[in-house]
Structures are given as structure tokens and as C-alpha cells.
Amino acid sequence: MRLQLSPEMEAFREEMRTFFTTQVPQEIRDTVAARRHVSKEQYVETQRVLNAAGLAVPHWPVEWGGQDWTPLQRHIWREEMQLACVPEPLAFNASMIGPVIAAFGTQEQKEKFLPATANLDIWWCQGFSEPDAGSDLASLRTTAVRDGDDWVVNGQKTWTTLGQHADWIFCLVRTDPTAEKKQRGISMLVFPMDTPGVTLRPIELIDGSHEVNEVFFEDVRVPAENLVGEENQGWTIAKFLLGNERVGIARVGATKRLLAQAKEFAREITVDGRPLADDPRTAARIAEVENELLALELTALRVVATSADGKPHPASSVLKLRGSELQQAATELIVDIAGPLSLASFADGGSEVPGWARVATPEYLNYRKVSIYGGSNEVQRTIIAGTILGL
Amino acid sequence: MDFTFDNEQNDLREAVRGLLERAYGSVEQRRAAVAQEPGFDEKTWARLAEMGVLGLPFAEEDGGMGAGPIEVAIVAEEIGRVLAPEPFVEAVVLAGGLVAAVGTAAQRAEVLGPLAEGGSVLAAALAEPGSRWSAAASAVTAAQAGDGWALTGVKEPVLAGARADVLVVSAAIAGETAGGTALFVVRGDAEGLTRTGYRTHDGTRAASVRFDGTPAELLGEGTGDRTAEVERVLALARIAYSAEAVGAMDTALRTTAGYLKTRKQFGVTLNRFQALTFRAADMYVSLELARSTALWAAMVADAGGDVVAAADRARLQTSRAGRHIGKEAIQLHGGIGVTAEYSVGHYTSRLTAIDHVLGDGEWALGRLAGRVTDHETVDPLGAPYTAAG
């Protein structure tokens, strides 16, 4: 048992902190800090800065640009990135399709896709969920039928995040509708978003943002070589991918930043001549979320410190569940601190309301998503009850 | 940073678990022990002494084992796991801890040696009726009497206070040197000492302790204010209680999960009802978050960091978790959960007791809220939680 980081890890943390706060353009970090919209160009620029320094995809195999890091190093990397308001490497590239191609792809696919994926030369989007296949992903109905050297894809995907920026899509499709178990007839295909027959339609969200899309496929012809892994092995790949997706999903660093901002905002608001931060009930609410966040961070540290053998620590399922709840609690806190100012959501020039108060409610509403995506919190409870408690 | 126990620590856990499993492996054994005075099993106490557990945190020259807060947490968690009624945290961590923190070398050897050997039970008399969770004393006063001191006033509730051979008492210095809290040692057979013992709801014992010009020995040199030292030892005891609570919560959850798998209603076992399994999953989340925080607080104590702040954080987290898990464990069992013959209700009762001995969650939250704007963010691996940080 030892609380302190080793001198090597202290140095590593310092190195990460220095890099993120000096090498990523200030304007981009300011955008994240102010919780404003991060543009496609800003994502791309950041990821290329990171990639040039070997910091975009450290969890990939070393030969494809990864780093031979311990789970603790990866944890520090991610936390420091979030604390420094650096937009994280695009999850669809760095956490999802990259590791999948590295693990299941052919040598040709690896060479073609991995360097471009790490550098965000290709922007990927995810074609998993469908209107009738959400948490029950294996019910997906988009089909791919073999026709000569091509697969012909028909169907519809939804919740395709940032699909409007995407160059390519990785897609789960049903290749064997007769399989006894629905999980067994699924494969993964990748193809460009400008392939004839692909149509993207934006979905407007309650915060007014355009973040997710529907994607329709009508006789989309995909060359056979764009199958990732073996035919009908798609479910294995999906499970592998979703397992990776949950890594780092606790987002402790990001929530820490929100809480630090909440304290600052509470000092700016005055109630009966005194700062709101001095109100005991407000202070208690902040302190309670802060303590919950500490408990989550410590659990994440326990998990990274004891899952070196590759097997996930049982407590890791807590991270997504509680991590999403605390992200939501922090955004809710900021709305409440803003109070009536939170109504000025779409105020433009000529408004006295500070930017943080304007974005407070849209973000709070937007963050309802975090307990839904990446395996909804009800799915997480099912996992905990089933695999950990044996119920 | 290393969150794993070493071999010696694992051995300690195995040894203590083995001993306590033999003593309290079934709920009947514990019920039998707490039904009789002094509310715990003297033989088990003696065995814990033989194992070195009762001298665990004290320096070797004081008759102890020279171990640290991590080892204390390991023992406390095992105590909580079976609800062993022996007053380990009360006598060793709290009362013994006060002597270790303040006593002279001679006093430490004289009081802690017999405690470690099992020959003497200690109790800390800090609580005063009408006030709560204060490190400073006010209702019991100390006045100089000849070469020594005499105490007057009432302490209550004093855990294990009727059985204790030696009381460690906090008192406000009266007269010219007024203004501070000092610590005193009072022998169980002292004149002018009246102790009225009673059962507490969790099966253990407490007492009302009345001092009426009772002779007392001042702990340590001089009459300087000891509030800061008391606060620090209270923090160590809160951290140990957090570990004890984690042990109790762990058993309460495992017992509940086991019950859901075997109890049948509507022709199926209860684990077929998602309304119940989801609540068990939430109990697991509470438990693991509390476990992380309790372990961390012990590591902060071990690292020489700000133990008072860490203890408040562990207290808040384990208080919330203890209430959640304790209440849900009963509810998920149904009626059997509130019966004395079944184990799980006793766990809830003990968790409730732990919550109120040295400060509950709301109390800890109040203290944390008062400091919340002193820092931008919390870094569990940095200052003030690591001494060097």
C-alpha cells in the first residue's frame, strides 16, 4: 500500500500536464473550458498535435502507434487531458474502430486504415444502433447480402454521432438471417459515407444541437474486402469494442473541471448581498458531489492499479454507472447556480448573461445522454446484478 | 501508488478472519455473546491479544506491534464482517490512541502494555450529554487537587464504559489555567466514580459515567490544550470505523444476494424480479465507492497526510453507503430482515450505531462544505493528503 505516485509516475504526470497545457492551442482549450461547440477542424487539429507526439492512441499496439504504458499511465494521460480541457481523440477512431482493426483486421486493412485513423485523416462514425435495436443491439435488422465480390447493404442506423463529419462508417449488419441465435448472424463492414445509396439525416436534439444522425442504406455496394474479421463474427467484435468503449468513460477529470467551475460560478452569483458560494446549502451540495467524485476517482484508481493482467476488475462496471450520474449531477448543479440566468440559453450579442450560464441548461439537457449511451445505466445494473452478484 | 495489500497484511487478514469466524461464524454465537455481560467474549478478546491485535498500532517500546493504519483497517473490516462485539476500535484505536498520542513514555508503557496483553480494557470517555461529536470537553471539568487532579461531571455514552479497567477522559481545565481540554486517566476502581452500564441497540454496551471529585492522572506533560490531538485520534478512529462499516456492508450485501437467490415467491426465486436485482446492484455501487474511500483514508493516515480531512470524507461516504445498504438489506429480505433471529437486521443496527458514535454523514458534510471553496479540485494523490504532496 502506498498513496503517493512513484517519482517516475509523478514525472509522467507532469510531462502530460505540460504537454497538454502548452502544445494544444489555447483557443481550442478555451472552447472546451467554456463548454462551447468544438468544430470539426478543432478536433482534427488537436488529434494531429497529439498523434505527432504519440499521445493520440497510446492504448493501441506499439507497432501501430501505441505506447507500452501501464493502465495507470493511461489513466493519468486521460485525466490530465480532461483537466487541461483538451478535446479527447475522437472515440470512434481511437477507442472503437482502431483497436478493432488492430485486433481483427487483415494486414492490408491495418496498413490502409490504422495510421490514417490515428491521425484523424479518416473521420469514422459508428453504425450500431437501429430504431428497433438500442440496448438490445443484437436485434439489428440492417442486412448485407453477398452479390459477387460485393456486399449489398440495406437498412437504417440511428444515433450516429457526428456522422455529418464522417468519411467512413463501421457498421454492424446481419449477414445470416437464418442463424439460430440472433448474435451469430452479424458481421462488421466498413465503407465510405459517400458510397452511393448512403443517406444521412440529422436529428435535432432538445438542446438545439445537431450531434446525432439517422443513416439510411439503399442497395449500398461494399467490396468484400471491407469485411472486418470473419463473416458472422460481428458480435464478438461488438463486445470487444463496447468493452473498450467503457474504458475511461467515468470521465472523472471532466467532471472535476465542471465542479471547479461550479465553485467559481457560485462566487459570481450574489444572493442578498452575499456570494452564493457562502450559502451553506449550496456549499453542501457542491461538497457532496465532490466527495462522490473522489470516491469514483479512487475506485477508478483501484481498478487501474489491479487490472494489469488484462482481466477487468469487477468494480469497473461501477465506473460507467456512477461516472455518468456524476457528470449529470455537475451539469445540474451549474444550472441551479445560474438560476434565472439559465433561461438565456440562446441569447446572442446584447445580453448581459455570462456565457457559462447560457450554455448551462443546453448542456444539462444534452448530458441526459450519458446515462443512455455506452450501455445504458440499466444495462450496467443488469451486468452488476448478473455477473458480479450472481443474481 | 499501490492499492494492493502485501503478504504480511494478507496473512494478518487471514489470521483475524479465522479467529473471528470461529467465534462468530453464526448469528447465534454473536447473539449468545452479546446477551451476557460485558457484551463481548472475554476469551475472544484474549485471543486477539495473543495475536497482537490489541497492540497493533502502538510502538514496540510501548508494548505494541508498531503496525499502522492499514493494518488497523484490515482488523476493523474483519470485525465488521462478522459483527464481532469486541471493542477493538473503541479500546485500541480511540482510547489507546489517545494515550499513545498524548501520554508520557511511562504512561504509554503503563497503560498500553496491559491493553495490548489483554489484561486491561480501555474506554474513551469523550461524549457529553447535550453536546455532540466535539473534540473539546466542557461538561466534565478538571481541577487541581493536591499533587494530582480531580474530575467532576458526567460523560455519556461511554462505549464499553462499565467494563473498562481504565478510562481515558477529556475534561475542561477549571480555574486559573482554564480554556483548554486536557486528557486524564481514571482507574476503574477510583473513588467518586459511578458507572451505570446499559445495552445499546446494536448489542454492545455503553455507560453513563459520573465523576464526583474523582482522582485522575493528567495524560502527558503540562496542561496545554489537547483538542488538536483529540481531533487527530478521533480522525483515526473514524477511519477505522469506516473500515468496520465496509466489512459490515459487504456481509449485508452478500447475505442479501444469497437470499434473493434462494427465497421463492410467486413460484420463482426473488432474483427473477428486476425490481429487486437492480436495487442490489445499486447496493454494490455504494459498497465499492465506500470501500475505495475507506481504504484511501487509511492510506492517507499511513502516508502522514491530512488525516482529519480524509476522515471526514470517509465518514461521509460510508455514512451514506451504510444507510443505503442497511435499509435496503432489510427491505429486500422482507419481514425476516427485522427479526432478531436473522442476521441482516443486526448489521443495519450496527451500521446505524457506527454512524452516530463519532459523527454522522451530515455532520461530516457540514465540515467539508465549510472548506469546499478552499481548493479548486481534490487530488487524492496530492496535497494535503500526501505529506510530501
Are A222 and A259 within one domain? no
Q: Is residue A24 situated within a structural domain?
A: yes
Contact B1 A263 (CB under 8 A): no
Domain final position from B120, B151, B182: B120
**Of B218, B248, B273, which residue is a domain's last?**
B218
Dig out the grid coordinates for A247 from the structure.
474504458
| A316/A226 Cα distance (integer angstroms) | 33
- Look at residue A305 in the predicted model and tell me its pLDDT: 76
One domain for residues A271 and A377:
yes
In tens, the pLDDT along A231-270 reads 999 999 998 888 776 667 789 999 999 999 999 999 999 9
User: What is the residue type of A119?
Assistant: N
**Structural domain ending residue among the three candidates A206, A232, A258:** A232
Cell numbers 437501429: residue: A130
Show the CA angle centred on residue B6, arms to residues B2 and B10, nearest 5°. 130
Contacts of A222 (CB under 8 A, 6+ apart): A144, A150, A151, A152, A153, A189, A191, A195
Sign of CA dihedral A40, A44, A50, A54: positive
Could you tell me the sign of the dihedral formed by the alpha carbons of B329, B334, B338, B342, in that order?
A: negative
User: Quick one: pLDDT at residue B320?
Assistant: 98
Domain carrying residue B92: 7-120
For residue B41, the one-letter residue type is D
Residue A248 CA to residue A257 CA, distance in Å, equals: 16
pTM: 0.96
Q: How far apart are CA A164 and CA B25, in angstroms?
A: 62
B52 and B141 both lie in a single domain: no
Q: What is the CATH number of the domain that holds A209?
A: 2.40.110.10
**Domain match, A166 and A263 both:** no
Position A312 scores a pLDDT of 66
Q: Do A284 and B380 touch (CB under 8 A)?
A: no
In order, the DSSP letters of B142-211 are EEEETTEEEEEEEEEEEETTTT-SEEEEEEEEPGGG-S-EEEEEEETT-TTEEEEEEE-TTS-EEEEEEE
Q: Which of A79, A80, A211, A245 is catalytic?
A: A245
Give per-10-residue mean pLDDT for chain B (389 aa): 93 98 95 97 98 97 97 98 98 98 98 98 97 95 94 98 98 79 98 98 98 98 94 98 98 98 97 98 98 98 97 98 98 97 97 97 98 96 82
Instruction: Supply the ipTM of this predicted assembly.
Output: 0.96
CA dihedral of A386, A374, B284, A285, whole degrees rounded to 10: -160
Report the pLDDT value the prediction gives residue B389, as an integer from 0 to 100.
43
Question: What is the reported pLDDT for A246?
Answer: 64
For chains A and B, count residue pairs whose Cβ atoms are closer than 8 Å: 159
Amino acid residing at B189? D
| CATH assignment at residue B33 | 1.10.540.10
Total structural domains within chain B: 3
- Do B109 and B156 belong together in one domain? no
pLDDT at A306: 72
One domain, residues A310 and A221: no
Question: CA of B122 to nearest chain A CA: how many angstroms apart?
Answer: 30
A27 is catalytic: no
B268 and B211, same structural domain?
no
Q: Which among A89, A113, A143 is the end of a domain?
A: A89
Rounded to a whole number of angstroms, the distance from the CA of B64 to the nearest CA of chain A is 21
A314 is a domain residue: yes
Q: Which pLDDT value is given to residue A348?
A: 86
Q: Which of A2, A3, A256 to mutate to test the interface with B (most CBs of B within 10 A)?
A: A3
The answer to whether B365 contacts chain A (CB < 8 Å) is yes
Q: Which domain holds residue A215?
A: 124-232
Task: State residue A309's pLDDT score.
Answer: 54
Chain B: give the shortest CA distance to residue A7, in Å.
10
Structural domains in chain A (count): 3
pLDDT at A245: 64
The β-bridge partners of B159 are: B206
Q: Would residue A344 count as lying in a domain?
A: yes
Q: A7 CB near a chain B CB, below 8 Å?
A: no
Surface of B (219-248) touching A: CB under 8 A: none
Residues in chain A, pLDDT under 50 = none
Residues of A in contact with B368 (CB under 8 A): 287, 290-291
Closest residue on chain B to A76 (Cα): B381
Given B99, B120, B141, which residue is the final one in a domain? B120
Verify that A278 and A384 share a domain, yes or no: yes
